[in-house]
Structure 1
Amino acid sequence: MAFITISGYPCSGKTQRVEQLRAHLESRLQDPSYEGPPLKVVVVSDDSLNLSRSVYNDGRAEKPARGALFTAVQRQMGQDTILIVDSMNYIKGFRYQMYCAAREHKLRVCTVFVVATHEQCKEWNASRDDSRAYAPETLENLLMRYEEPSSMVRWDSPLFTVPWTDADVPIDDIWKAVTEGNVKPPNAGTQAVPKAPTDALRTLEHTTTTMVAAIMAEQTASGGLGGPVTLVLSAMSKPRVSLPPRNITLSELQRLKRQFVTVHKKAITLGTTEKGAVDWSEESIADKFAVYIEGNLKP
């Protein structure tokens, strides 16, 4: 349904804003005047995943922690969920990665930027207990590395900025974004590439080889008269192909077979960007090869 990215400096009050946002959203979903689909509000955060603040002390530890967060986010995405990710999300590349995942799931998206000054973040960090506080040098490093969201880029838009002086989040605008905002369809850059079955290469090679042999046998039996013929490859696969009224040489068919196999082998090994699932069954390959032969054999 919707995906809300929370972003802000460490110790800037993000979790407090998330609790305000969650309360408002749940209240509106339970209101008798709400007529939309039944939805739940889910929050994924460093704390919910038991990620210690110490992971940000070292880049080698931070990377797998960020990976765990992304995996948890993907697992919770769904049409029945308003998902809020409560973390710094200070790297614009990571926000873009989550945006792409949201587009794959056809979710509405928005970003909430929680703003506080460096001095306030340091003061609030110092007031925390040891288990939830950042090391002073880590906090300073994160403040310097933070990549601020921008309404000018699509993965941060629509962007709602909540300064420390505001008592509450702009729930009316956020509610409109998550319930009425545009759902951007997946594109070639965000779609998962369909994978071919493990036996697709073997089926491709076997089917085309069998068809070449069947065409040569049919030509011998008919004396090279040509015309439409039905090739019986198996009980399920009986492709029809129109042959020219002349003797077709084995070298011609072998050349066409190599070209056909080369093109389709790339689609199998590298993936395909065709819409929907691609059929790599014997019947489908045979029909495609028949069309290819008809279009490339000289009269």
Structure 2
Amino acid sequence: MALVTITGYPSSGKSRRALQLKTHLESRLQDPNYAGPKLKVQIISDDELNLDRNVYSDSRSEKPARGALFTAMQRQMSQDTILIIDSLNYIKGFRYQMYCAARELKLRVCTIFVVTTQDLAREWNETRQDSKVYPSETFENLVQRYEEPSSMVRWDSPLFTVPWLDEDIPADDIWKAVTEGNIKPPNAGTQAVPKAPTDALRTLEHTTTTMVSAIMSEQAASGGIGGPVTLALSSTLKPRVSLPSRNITLSELQRLKRQFVTVHKKAITLGTVEKGVVDWSEESVADKFAAYIEENLKS
């Protein structure tokens, strides 16, 4: 249904805002006047994933921590869930990555920027009485590296800024964004590349080799008169190909086969940019190779 990304300085009050939002959303969903789809509200946070604040002390531990957060997010994103990501989310590239994942599933998105001054966030961090304190050096490093969200970029929009002085969040506007906001369709950058079946390479090689042998046999039987011929590759596979009125050498056919296989092997191993599912069946490969031969053999 929707993905809500919360971002802000460490110890700026993000978890408090996430709980406020969850309370507001659940209240509206339980309202007797609500007539929309049945939805649930969930929060994914560092604490829920048992990520210690020390993981942000160096990149070697931070990278797998972000990976765990992203994996948990992907697992819980769905059309019946409003998912709130309560974490630092201080890197714009990571916010963009989350945006792309949400867009691929056609979810609505919004970002909540929890704003406080560096001095106040530092004070709150130093005076915390729980185990969620950021080490001083880590805190300073995160503040310096923090990349503020911007309403001018699509992955941070719509953006709701919540200053530390506000007692509550703009619940009405956020509710509208997650229930009525525009759903952007996936683009080429977020769509998975169609993959060929596991036996596509074998089918490509076997079918083209069999066709070369069949053409040489047909030419020997007809004396090289050319014209349209039917190649009986099997009881069900009988492609037709038009041959020139001359003797075709085996080296010519093998050269065309190598060229054809090379081009299509790249599409199999790297994926294809064609829309929809590409047919890698024997019939399709045979028809394509027949057309390739006709186009490249000169009379």
Q: 2 CA distance for matches of 1:6 and 1:256?
A: 57
Matched AA of 2:78:
G
Q: 1 CA distance for matches of 2:264 and 2:144?
A: 49
> 1:156 — aligned with what?
156
Superposition map of 1:242-253 within 5 A: 242-253=242-253
> 1:62 — aligned with what?
62
Higher mean C-alpha displacement, 208-217 vs 121-130: 121-130
- Closer/same/farther in 2, CA of residues 244 and 37 from structure 1, 3 Å limit: farther
Q: Using the TM superposition, give the Cα deviation of residue 294 of structure 1 relative to its aligned residue in structure 2, in angstroms.
A: 2.9
Matched AA of 1:52:
D
Question: What runs of 5+ residues in structure 1 fail to find an aligned partner?
Answer: none
> 1:190 — aligned with what?
190
- Closer/same/farther in 2, CA of residues 28 and 261 from structure 1, 3 Å limit: same
Superposed CA deviations along residues 16-39 of structure 1, whole A, max 9, x for unmatched, are 111111122222223333333322
> 1:292 — aligned with what?
292
Matched AA of 1:51:
L
Q: 1 CA distance for matches of 2:283 and 2:19?
A: 56
- Closer/same/farther in 2, CA of residues 114 and 295 from structure 1, 3 Å limit: same
> 2:255 — aligned with what?
255
Q: Using the TM superposition, give the Cα deviation of residue 235 of structure 1 relative to its aligned residue in structure 2, in angstroms.
A: 4.3
Q: 2 CA distance for matches of 1:179 and 1:238?
A: 55
Q: Using the TM superposition, give the Cα deviation of residue 236 of structure 1 relative to its aligned residue in structure 2, in angstroms.
A: 4.5
Higher mean C-alpha displacement, 25-34 vs 260-269: 25-34
> 2:241 — aligned with what?
241
Secondary structure in structure 1 of the residue aligned to 2:131 = helix
Matched, 1:112 2:112: yes
> 2:272 — aligned with what?
272
Q: Using the TM superposition, give the Cα deviation of residue 111 of structure 1 relative to its aligned residue in structure 2, in angstroms.
A: 1.0
Q: Using the TM superposition, give the Cα deviation of residue 288 of structure 1 relative to its aligned residue in structure 2, in angstroms.
A: 2.0
- Closer/same/farther in 2, CA of residues 176 and 291 from structure 1, 3 Å limit: farther
Superposition map of 1:1-299 within 5 A: 1-299=1-299
Q: Using the TM superposition, give the Cα deviation of residue 274 of structure 1 relative to its aligned residue in structure 2, in angstroms.
A: 2.1
Q: 2 CA distance for matches of 1:36 and 1:292?
A: 55
Superposed CA deviations along residues 104-153 of structure 1, whole A, max 9, x for unmatched, are 22222111111111122122212323411111221111111100001111
Secondary structure in structure 1 of the residue aligned to 2:152 = coil
Q: 1 CA distance for matches of 2:99 and 2:237?
A: 43
Q: Using the TM superposition, give the Cα deviation of residue 196 of structure 1 relative to its aligned residue in structure 2, in angstroms.
A: 2.6
Q: Using the TM superposition, give the Cα deviation of residue 216 of structure 1 relative to its aligned residue in structure 2, in angstroms.
A: 2.0
Matched AA of 2:33:
S
Secondary structure in structure 1 of the residue aligned to 2:253 = helix
Identity percentage over the alignment?
79
- Closer/same/farther in 2, CA of residues 203 and 49 from structure 1, 3 Å limit: same
- Closer/same/farther in 2, CA of residues 296 and 37 from structure 1, 3 Å limit: farther
Q: 2 CA distance for matches of 1:221 and 1:177?
A: 73
- Closer/same/farther in 2, CA of residues 234 and 30 from structure 1, 3 Å limit: farther
Count residues in correspondence. 299
- Closer/same/farther in 2, CA of residues 65 and 221 from structure 1, 3 Å limit: same
Higher mean C-alpha displacement, 265-274 vs 2-11: 265-274
Secondary structure in structure 1 of the residue aligned to 2:166 = coil
Give the TM-score normalised by structure 1: 0.92
Q: 2 CA distance for matches of 1:272 and 1:30?
A: 46
Q: Using the TM superposition, give the Cα deviation of residue 245 of structure 1 relative to its aligned residue in structure 2, in angstroms.
A: 4.1
Q: Using the TM superposition, give the Cα deviation of residue 14 of structure 1 relative to its aligned residue in structure 2, in angstroms.
A: 0.8
Secondary structure in structure 2 of the residue aligned to 1:132 = coil
